[in-house]
């Protein structure tokens, strides 16, 4: 005969005697919690000898620019880009049509606004054809464009030294006094940037921007326009973190500009800006957004002048994008719509 033992019927262990307390290691009891406060304190410390290099002076508002200045257009636009080799390409483009083969061909068709004495907007049909070429290597970039009306534009960027860069921008037209040229020497330091500019019409300018902390950078600029006997001085401040970017700019020309960008997520950004021009007695504020989806990018803005604009870039297949553009000016009753195709990477 076998015996069966039931665990359910086993007697419970006796309770601990009165006054009993489990043994606790005194060293473990006095050990501090994980050093979260120490990590936060380390983040707050600023190593003034190892600050990051700030963004270029002319790009302090680049995040706000992406949301608040979408490249809207009217009519038809086509853009084709193809690299001929890793360094050289051609392009063709036009208003309503832009083709970039790097050589680049651009064609566009739309309308052009003419100045009028009243509040009405006068538009006339227009078109444009442009041919260009790009050349790029690690130390030099050359970009050239020529349009059907004889306008020629060119850009050169050349690294003279490891931290010294030369930039040349030029535009030649058939109209007198509209041709322009500008030379810029950019120096990139460890925690600062400086630039000297020399242009036609006896233009001289310079700017300097310095990182003060790892998030804050301050800068100043000055210019002299000899032909018009005008000069100006400006100051900027930029504060950026992983979640936001705030900038401020003021100049003796009467310009005050403020911008703020909030990075809601990796794909969504909200932006706003405020612009005051004392000379023109004009005040404008705007709010914009930049929303990136898996296959498209949507940008748009609305401002206090009653202008609403949006730009949609839809990726149909690799190398083929469809573009929709709209701008509505309710006060002037001026409405612009455009669509286009972008071929090539």
Domains of the chain: 55-341 (2.40.160.10)
99, 172, 188 from 151: Cα distances, Å: 17, 6, 33
pLDDT on residue 118: 58
CB-based burial label for 107 (10 Å; 0-12, 13-18, 19+): buried
pLDDT on residue 182: 96
pLDDT on residue 21: 45
pLDDT on residue 93: 58
The residues, ordered by sequence, that sit 6+ positions from 324 with a Cβ below 8 Å of its Cβ are 310, 311, 312, 314, 338, 339
The Cα–Cα gap between 106 and 79 comes to 6
pLDDT on residue 117: 58
- Rounded to two decimals, the pTM is 0.77
CB-based burial label for 130 (10 Å; 0-12, 13-18, 19+): buried
What string of pLDDT tens digits covers the 345 residues of the chain? 444 444 444 444 555 544 444 444 444 444 455 555 554 444 567 778 889 999 999 999 999 998 899 889 888 888 777 777 665 555 555 543 333 335 566 667 666 666 655 556 667 777 777 787 888 888 888 899 888 888 999 999 999 999 999 999 999 998 888 899 999 999 999 999 999 999 998 999 999 999 999 999 999 999 999 988 999 999 999 999 999 999 999 999 999 999 999 999 999 999 999 999 999 889 999 999 999 998 999 999 999 999 999 999 999 998 899 999 999 998 888 889 999 888 876
The residues, ordered by sequence, that sit 6+ positions from 62 with a Cβ below 8 Å of its Cβ are 55
In the numeric block, the tokens 């006896």 are attached to 202
């Amino acid at each position: 005969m076998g015996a069966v033992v039931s665990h359910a019927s086993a007697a419970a262990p006796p309770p601990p005697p009165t006054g009993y307390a489990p043994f606790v290691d005194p060293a473990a009891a006095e050990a501090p919690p994980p050093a979260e406060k120490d990590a936060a304190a380390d983040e707050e410390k600023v190593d003034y000898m190892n600050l990051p290099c700030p963004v270029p002076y002319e790009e302090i508002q680049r995040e706000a620019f992406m949301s608040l200045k979408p490249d809207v257009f009217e009519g038809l636009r086509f853009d084709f880009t193809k690299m001929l080799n890793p360094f050289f390409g051609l392009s063709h483009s036009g208003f309503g049509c832009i083709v970039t083969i790097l050589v680049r061909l651009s064609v566009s068709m739309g309308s052009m606004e003419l100045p009028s004495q009243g509040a009405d907007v006068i538009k006339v049909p227009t078109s444009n054809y442009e041919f260009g070429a790009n050349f790029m290597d690690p130390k030099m970039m050359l970009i050239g464009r020529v349009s059907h009306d004889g306008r020629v534009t060119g850009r050169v960027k050349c690294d003279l030294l490891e931290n010294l860069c030369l930039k040349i921008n030029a535009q030649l037209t058939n109209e007198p006094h509209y041709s322009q040229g500008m030379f810029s020497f950019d120096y990139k330091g460890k925690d600062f940037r400086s630039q000297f500019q020399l242009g036609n019409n006896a233009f001289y300018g310079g700017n300097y921007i310095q990182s003060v902390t790892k998030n804050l950078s301050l800068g100043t600029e000055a210019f002299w326009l000899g032909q018009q006997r005008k000069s100006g001085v400006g100051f900027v401040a930029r504060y950026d973190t992983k979640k936001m970017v705030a900038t401020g700019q003021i100049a003796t020309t009467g310009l005050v500009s403020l911008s703020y960008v909030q990075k809601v997520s990796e794909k969504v950004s909200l932006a706003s800006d405020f612009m005051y021009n004392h000379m023109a007695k004009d005040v404008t504020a705007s709010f914009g957004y930049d929303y990136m989806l898996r296959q498209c990018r949507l940008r748009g803005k609305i401002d206090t002048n009653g202008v609403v604009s949006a730009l949609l870039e839809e990726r149909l297949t690799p190398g083929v994008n469809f573009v929709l553009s709209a701008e509505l000016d309710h006060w002037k009753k001026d409405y612009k719509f455009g669509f286009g195709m972008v071929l090539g990477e």
